[in-house]
Every structure is written in structure tokens, then in C-alpha cells.
Homo-oligomer: A and B are copies of this chain.
Amino acid sequence: MLRRDYDTQVCSIARTLEVIGERWTILIIRDTFNGIRRFEDFQRSLGIARNVLSARLQRLVNEGILEKRLYEERPRRYEYRLTEKGKDLFPVLMALVRFGDRHRAPDGPPYRYFHRGCGGEATTRVCCDRCGADVGPRDLSKEPGPGLSERRAA
């Protein structure tokens, strides 16, 4: 069992970091979005120690982010695929891409993401689910939700 660092934090950011906050984990997830599925290919892409990679993959399977599937019987070989839950990390990845493209890419973005068909570029927005306006931190009112009340009542 890995140590949970953010256990005392009643916070959806901290809880997400419990799952994806370990070194290399986000890059493993990035690779799966890029179509990588096999241990050897992750290893080649990341260049990390096999035991570290193995532990990270297993953790992601345990957390329901990846599923492990047998794709060859002899020898027995497995591949790793994103679950529906794992696919829900796409906005996190794209938000990281956009920040890096803007602030950490002096020669321009290493990759660009085009909308097939229309040809526009992918962007990330934080917006209001009612009126659709883009919203920043000052436009939002943070209110205690049901998860906090439960904990307080306990």
C-alpha cells in the first residue's frame, strides 16, 4: 500500500492527486491517450526503471484508471487501456498541455491538436454550465458542498 499523502485534505484536487500525483503517472496516462498499450512501449517512451513502471501501472489498474487485458495467450501478454474513468482525465491533460505550450515552449508547441474536419485547434475553457460564459476565479463563488457537510457531521 502506497502512502497517501493528502489524506487530511477534504478536497477534490488533493483526492485526484492521490491517484495521479505520483512521479511519471501523468505521463503514463498521456501515453495511453497517444495509443500506447504495452509495457515495452511505455518503457521505451518514458525510459524509467521497469519496477517503477510496473508499480505505477498496477496502481492505475487498482484505481480503475486503466484496465489490464490479456492480448496473447502464449506467452501470456497483457496490455493496458484507459477505462471510462481514465478517459475523464482528458481535460486535465489538455489543461497541462495548454499551460506548457504557453509558458514552457520557447520554440512553440511541440505538438498541435486540430479538430478533425473543421481544422480548428483544441483549447480548454472553464465556463459556466448555465450561461456558457468563460469564468475565472473572481467570477466564482465557492460554497461548501454535500461532501464537506457529511464529513463535518460525522
Contacts and interface: CB of A to CB of B under 8 A. Distances in A.
Interface string A105-121: 11111111111101111
B139 A116 contact: yes
Interface string A89-125: 1111111111111111111111111111011111111
A55 interface: no
Contacts of A135: 115, 122
Interface residues of A, number: 84
Copies in the complex: 2
Interface in A135-150: 135-137, 139-148, 150
Contacts of A95: 91-92, 94-95, 124
Main secondary structure of the interface of A (DSSP, over half): mixed
B97 A145 contact: no
A87 to B, nearest CB: 7
Interface in A28-62: 30, 33-34, 47
Given A13-B27, A100-B13, A124-B126, A133 B115 contact: yes
5 contacts: A12-B104, A113-B142, A116-B140, A118-B128, A123-B126
